[in-house]
Amino acid sequence: MKTTADAATSNRGATPGAPKGPRSVTGRVVSAKMQNTVVVAVQWTITHPQYKKVVRRSTRYMAHDDRQCGLGDVVRLVETRPLSKLKRWRVVSIVERATAATKPGRVSVAS
């Protein structure tokens, strides 16, 4: 069963016989507390096979970050060789920087 995440975020299977490149996904940075590492949550939706309800799924990837990503940034990841025990992804680009209003856990106080 192919999900919308496979079709939207993967460049595999675009053309039969074409060379396959590394997978790439887009997600939001949910943790940036480690050195050169960020945790990125990638969300996608699937239709439940029995109940036909649209269900939101997510996966957290640890990725190598040399671009100084911040919490809440939307980034593009590409699959790479194993860099550590849990890191198999690398940040390629920052799609959208987080603003003060979009950063999770921040409460703005009106004065």
Residue boundaries of the structural domains of the chain: 4-10+23-96
Indicate the pTM of the whole model: 0.73
Q: Which CATH superfamily is domain 4-10+23-96 in?
A: Nucleic acid-binding proteins (2.40.50.140)
Task: Give me the tens of pLDDT residue by residue for the chain, a chain 111 residues long.
Answer: 455 555 445 555 556 777 788 899 999 999 999 999 999 999 999 999 999 999 999 999 999 999 899 999 999 999 999 999 999 999 999 999 988 776 666 655 665
At a CB cut-off of 8 Å and minimum separation 6, what does 107 contact?
A: none
CA dist., res. 70 & res. 91, Å (int) = 12
| Torsion angle (degrees, nearest 10) of CA 23, 28, 30, 33 | 70
